[in-house]
């Protein structure tokens, strides 16, 4: 798996990823800050940065998703799809499940992944789902 996609019209140029996995890099809630000062949100972003992203998914670090009481938090979004915000994530242990959920989201044209196809953390730790913008 890779985080880049190829444009079928130009095999040399990577196409923009359709799905954004936005990770709050400033989250502190729920976990202690270690002596190195790297907050849990930054640790989760680093762990995801080191992983192979699913096809069509790009990673974006953001400062605060306004889900601070439920940090670590992330959002999955794309044009024309529902946006989902998840919280209470473990910055290291949940990386595999986050990538699994991002891949399922990328494969769902409207962003709605069947309940049973979602990783447990996405079933139980959803904070919000936001409808796609109407155009």
Task: Give the up-direction half-sphere exposure of residue 103: CA atoms within 13 A in the CB hemisphere.
Answer: 16
Q: Is the dihedral of CA 81, 12, 100, 32 positive or negative?
A: negative
Among 3, 56, 71, 91, binds ligand FES (CB under 6 A): 71
Q: Does 20 bind ligand FES (CB under 6 A)?
A: no
Q: Which helix or strand (DSSP H or E) is residue 76 part of? A: strand 74-77
Among 1, 15, 16, 64, binds ligand FES (CB under 6 A): 64
Among 67, 75, 77, 106, binds ligand FES (CB under 6 A): 67
Among 21, 24, 42, 113, binds ligand FES (CB under 6 A): 24
Non-local CB neighbours of 100 within 8 Å, separated by 6+ positions? 119
Q: Which residues bind ligand FES (CB under 6 A)?
A: 24, 26-27, 41, 64-68, 71, 73
């Amino acid at each position: 798996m890779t985080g880049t996609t190829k444009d079928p019209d130009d095999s040399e140029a990577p196409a923009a990823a359709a799905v954004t996995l936005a990770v709050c890099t400033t989250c502190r809630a729920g976990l202690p800050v270690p002596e190195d000062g790297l907050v849990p949100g930054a640790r989760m972003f680093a762990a995801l940065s080191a992983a192979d992203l699913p096809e069509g998914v790009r990673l974006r670090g953001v400062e605060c998703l306004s889900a601070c009481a439920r940090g670590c938090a992330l959002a999955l979004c794309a044009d024309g799809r529902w946006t989902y915000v998840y919280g209470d994530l473990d910055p290291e242990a949940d990386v595999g499940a986050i990538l699994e959920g991002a891949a399922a989201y990328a494969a769902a044209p409207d962003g709605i992944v069947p309940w049973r196809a979602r990783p447990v953390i996405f079933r139980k730790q959803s904070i919000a789902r936001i409808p796609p913008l109407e155009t």
